[in-house]
Amino acid sequence: MSDIYQLERQSWMEATATRRVMDALRAGGQDVRFVGGCVRDSLVGREIKDIDIATPDRPEVVITLLENAGIKAIPTGMDHGTITAVCNHKVFEITTLRLDVETDGRHAKVIFTDSWVEDAARRDLTMNALSANLEGVVYDPFDGVKDLREKRIRFVGDAVTRIEEDALRLLRFFRFQAWYGGDDIDAVGLEAARKKAPLLKGLSAERIHSELMRLLAAPDPGSVLKHMLDNNIFTTFLPEVVTTDIFDAFIKLEGRCDPLVRLVALTMVANKTMGCPKDTIFSIPDRLRFSTAEKEHFLSLVRPAYNINSKIDDATFREAIYRIGSGLVSDLLRLSMARTGEGFGNQKALELSRKIESWQPVFFPLQGRDLIKAGFKPGPKMGRLLKITEQWWIEQAFVPDYDQCLAYAMK
């Protein structure tokens, strides 16, 4: 029988949009509950991102109930019982209670049920199998509240079976360990992950990419990444990970959390020693289906336009920070320091860091139209002259003003 807890009043539960959706779904007398992350995170005082709701009613009934209450209903996943409600510009995902009857490691065939325990039993982790009604009563069929409070990440039921149903759960186990876990990791879950790691080959690159970025965004995922490395989790999708030493050093130096920069730190040894097949680090964005912006950012870090390190001369540093920006320069400096084992006890590194923090963008005062006005003819020659003048201005520490830059160009 499920343990029952009482959740303190939550602002997101009291919100007008939430109450409208819940009242609409409960109009037929059904036991409708919040499920998953919103319940879990409320119990530990974390910010709520998404509000997911479950109901015994079938999808077509859900649509009717919502529309009767004047709420927009979108049939986003009828076969799996999922309806999206939009109320007061807020989005709610509503799913009919269900259980899996067939799985292939990526997709599941489901049938609907009216059993809350059966629905909870198909979820991945105990802390994600929680549900709560509008009055804040929390239902906990698998000791998820205790696991949450004790920072223990544990699969619902048999860990191997859960992973076989959907291999992404293997990565979710480590992601939740990084965000919610304590110093110890569940030995049963870890062994199941090690045993079933080859199943990751069957996942799409997009799903792996998404889960990896969310894992790397955790406050300090270093120990979790070490567990993954020691248990050959990276082998199937990111063989460039051969140590976490540089990553651990980088975490102590980083000025801001950027999962992509952390990924570079995690794979940096492969780039440095080429212990993997030649240049495989450069193929990571394509293999993991990065967006164009992500790919450009990643490659700007592993194949930088400037060699940023604590020994960089002032002129190169000045040009780099002007041309590629303080954020990228900061990341490159810290990556270099992590690779060489330096800290901010290094006076030059500390001075560079302070310059980066105090940097205010500057703008070259001369433009093409200024040269045209001064009598130059548009074309490649004028373009080269403008670039030469800009380079001189950079070398002069951005001091020359418009008149001085124009005078230099006129020479």
Mean pLDDT lowest among 79-83, 209-213, 221-225: 79-83
Distances (CA, A) of 35 to 89, 116, 132, 187, 354: 21, 10, 7, 27, 46
Residues 58, 95 share a domain = yes
Together in a domain, 357 and 244? yes
Residues 98, 22: one domain?
Answer: yes
Cα 259 to chain centroid distance, Å, stands at: 6
Distances (CA, A) of 331 to 58, 67, 230, 276: 51, 50, 27, 24
Tell me: do 106 and 64 sit in the same domain.
Answer: yes
Confidence class for position 106, pLDDT limits 50, 70, 90: low
Last residue of a domain, one of 113, 131, 150: 150
pLDDT in tens, 229-257: 999 999 999 999 999 999 999 999 998 89
Please indicate, yes or no, whether residues 115 and 219 belong to a single structural domain of this protein. Answer: no
What tokens were used for 23?
Answer: 């009242």
Closest CA to 312 of 333, 297, 292, 298: 333
Q: Are residues 45 and 110 in the same domain?
A: yes
Which structural domain, as residue segments, surrounds residue 278? Answer: 238-361
In this predicted structure, what is the pLDDT of residue 411? Answer: 83
Using only the alpha carbons of the chain, give its radius of gyration. Answer: 27
Of 194, 209, 232, the residue at which a domain comes to its end is: 232
Res. 218: pLDDT tops 80: yes
Q: Which residue has the tokens 């649509």?
A: 63
- CATH number assigned to the domain comprising residue 64: 3.30.460.10
pLDDT of residue 255: 83
Are 262 and 303 found together in one domain?
A: yes
CA distances from 221 to 24, 135, 312 (A): 41, 35, 31
**Phi then psi for 378, rounded to 5 degrees?**
-60, 145
The answer to whether the CB of 288 falls within 8 A of the CB of 323 is no
Q: One-letter amino acid identity for 103?
A: T
Q: Verify that 267 and 402 share a domain, yes or no.
A: no
Distance separating alpha carbons of residues 323 and 42, to the nearest angstrom: 45
With cut-offs at 50, 70 and 90, classify the pLDDT of residue 28: confident
Predicted local confidence at residue 70, as pLDDT: 97
- What does the DSSP 8-state code read for residue 155? B
Domain CATH number, residue 227: 1.10.3090.10
pLDDT of residue 80: 83
Between strands 51-55 and 90-96, the pairing is: parallel
- Model confidence pTM above 0.85: yes
Domain co-membership, 343 together with 224: no
Question: pLDDT, tens digit, for every residue of 149-202?
Answer: 999 999 999 999 999 999 999 999 999 999 999 999 999 999 999 999 999 999
> Is 4 in the same domain as 136?
yes
In the three-class reduction of DSSP (H, G, I as helix; E, B as strand; rest coil), residue 94 is classed as: strand
Domain count, the chain: 4
Closest by alpha carbon to 396, among 315, 288, 340?
Answer: 315
Of 198, 232, 266, which one is at a domain's C-terminal end?
232
Distance linking the first and last C-alpha atoms of the chain: 88
